[in-house]
Structure 1
């Protein structure tokens, strides 16, 4: 009979079979405990996403007359424009610089698991899943969301 502990789960991360607990998020990935290059914590990641979404709202309001959240009711088309701008920002900026506007402001960057800048295909996978929003709500012991795990990326402090 196959047991759950034999199979493991993406939520449990790569050390799930050995049962070896990690001392801090990112240890199993070879990341430092804190400082530059350490795993980004939830608060910074959330603040970066809020900054990115707000910037996209301002751009949509300026270029496409999409009402700001406090200024009117957005239609389904307005939400589509916002999501498209958010995806475009992620695709362009992560592929070229390794961070979005929000990431840069809060001192984060998106890396491939090998420590290099994320490759275009990784950015594409990450962005598509991030735009679905649900994968970003689930993360493992290292703080990597499902969208980062599927893309083979991580968010590190700058």
Structure 2
């Protein structure tokens, strides 16, 4: 279980979660202008990201911001290019850097919930169902969707990209 108050939640397709009293289409909380993801009265402004999941507003356990997540992604790309370049020098790594990125993303995320870039910036991937490990199938699907970039750019009110919603995870700060 995540931290904070206990909500009665139901899982809907693509990893979405809604309160039982506001079960709607799975798109309900991430479409622009939609207030279906709010836990308050209709048309009430959304609080902070993660509020409806019982997460703190700031500090450890709060939802990671876009800047941290994008920076961690950039660090992972840079590390994979350098790692692949070490094996292909003096030639450029070409597609070997993609393989290095997949390995640097899938394996640590499945086992530890964070990539090297995420570790450097203090963020981690956590499952919404409260289990400890993200697991290989979820980490692999999340990485494949992240490869296309667009799913990561379409977020809901809790800053969860489509790749996170599809795998039932959220990116949180741990420090």
Instruction: Work out whether 1:107 is the aligned partner of 2:131.
Output: no
Structure-2 separation of matches of 1:117 and 1:32: 21
1:8-36, Cα deviation, whole Å (9 max, x unpaired): 54624861695554310011111111110
Q: Partner of 2:112 in structure 1?
A: 97
* 2:98 counterpart (78, 83, 86): 83
Following TM superposition, by how much is the alpha carbon of 1:120 offset from its aligned partner in structure 2, in angstroms? 2.2
* 1:125 counterpart (141, 148, 151): 141
1:16-65, Cα deviation, whole Å (9 max, x unpaired): 69555431001111111111000000011011111111000101111123
Cα pair 2:153 2:161 within 8 Å, conserved: yes
TM-score normalised by structure 2 residue count: 0.73
Q: Partner of 2:167 in structure 1?
A: 151
Pairs aligned (count): 143
Counting only pairs closer than 5 Å after superposition, residues 1-158 of structure 1 correspond to structure 2 as: 7=25, 8-9=27-28, 11-12=30-31, 15=37, 19-65=43-89, 67=92, 78=94, 80-115=95-130, 116-158=132-174
Structure-1 separation of matches of 2:134 and 2:55: 16
Structure 2 runs not aligned, ≥5 long: 1-23
Structure having the higher helix fraction is: 1
TM-score normalised by structure 1 residue count: 0.80
1:75-128, Cα deviation, whole Å (9 max, x unpaired): xxx1x3222211111111111111100000000010101243312221121111
